Amino acid sequence: MFRFANPEYLIALWLIPVLIVLYILFNRNRKRLLEKFADKDLHKSIMYSFSSAKSKLKFGLILTALTLLILAFANPQVGTKMQEVKQTGIDVYILLDVSRSMAAEDIKPNRLEKAKYQISNLIQKLRGDRIGLIIFSGDAYIQFPLTTDYSAANLFLSAVDFNSVPQPGTAIASAITMAVQSFDSAATDKAIIAITDGEDHEGDIDAAVEEATDKDIKIYTIGLGSPDGVPIPVYDNRGNEAGFKQDNSGQTVLTKLNESILKEIASNGNGKYYRGNNYEDYLDKIYNDLSKLEQAEFGVKKVTDYEDRFYYFLIPAILLLIIEIFISDKRSPFFTKLNRKLGIEAEEK
């Protein structure tokens, strides 16, 4: 198998045709300037020592060396052998509240963005464990299922916003039930981490938590927000603050952290409750606790060992550049005599 370890460097190959075009334009411009300066018959006399063929040869060597250097930087690799590697770890589903109350700015920059930032940090620290994300408001949806593709997970996470779930509300029960049903049958330790303000919760939470504990799934909760209540800012299309959310009677809506329900969920779910703030990363603390659990095998993946072959291109590139240095632009007496002799022989024929 063959691949490039750094394929992004191959974009630089576009420089090659650009340099060729520039070289042709430069030569045409130089020729035009010479024709203005002197008659064509005088060109050979004025530039007697200059070798056009050598100039083209030097440019060709530099161009070839540059191409080889770009390929070397891209680091071509050859797969030498394929082996199976056991995948071990734990399974974690994160439930993220995306309701409008999460736009409150008592947690900076706001509750949702803070949660996304901490989830992203967690994903970057994962090594072999599977993570999934369920977003919920008035309903729950799987943003991405359990995966070890952390790059894809971060990509899907970045797309989450307040419009991801159009239904208003806080369907914590539906999100827990969906997570429980989305875990596969692999004999791994499983956990659910709910990040929410717990406000306006809907559904039968007790039944959802009981279903999780029956399957030995632990539930942790992180509460974001102020128990005293804060207004929810509203922004216009330009991103400028246009006031605060109001109810039907024109009163400013205050969103409050419902700690009691989140503590109850964590207690009944054999987990822990954490009160989020601007300074600590409780999601990281929860994962440190989970990482102490016994890791189990949940699959096998095939991994190919690759060996670098960049030197196949780097060494010839260096040799060509060294050769180019020792080639002058002057005419070679030997080749001049040889060309004249060949010219004479051609005329005789």
| Chain segment 294-313, per-residue pLDDT in tens | 555 555 555 456 678 888 99
The alpha helices in the chain, defined as continuous H runs, are 15-37, 40-46, 52-73, 111-125, 150-158, 172-182, 205-214, 259-268, 282-290, 311-325, 333-348
| 85-301: CATH number | 3.40.50.410
What is the distance between the alpha carbons of residues 179 and 59, in angstroms, rounded to a whole number?
Answer: 63
Alpha carbon dihedral 17, 19, 21, 26, in 10-degree steps, equals -170
Q: Which residues of the chain are modeled with pLDDT < 50?
A: 85, 303, 338, 344-349
Q: Where are the beta strands (DSSP E) in 156-226?
A: 190-196, 217-223
Q: Which pLDDT belongs to residue 340?
A: 57
Question: Tokens at residue 276, please?
Answer: 């989020």
The residue ranges of every structural domain in the chain are 2-75+310-348, 85-301
Are the CB atoms for 78 and 307 separated by under 8 Å? yes
Model pLDDT, residue 347: 41
At 349 the pLDDT is: 38
CB 119 within 8 A of CB 157: yes
pLDDT of residue 182: 94
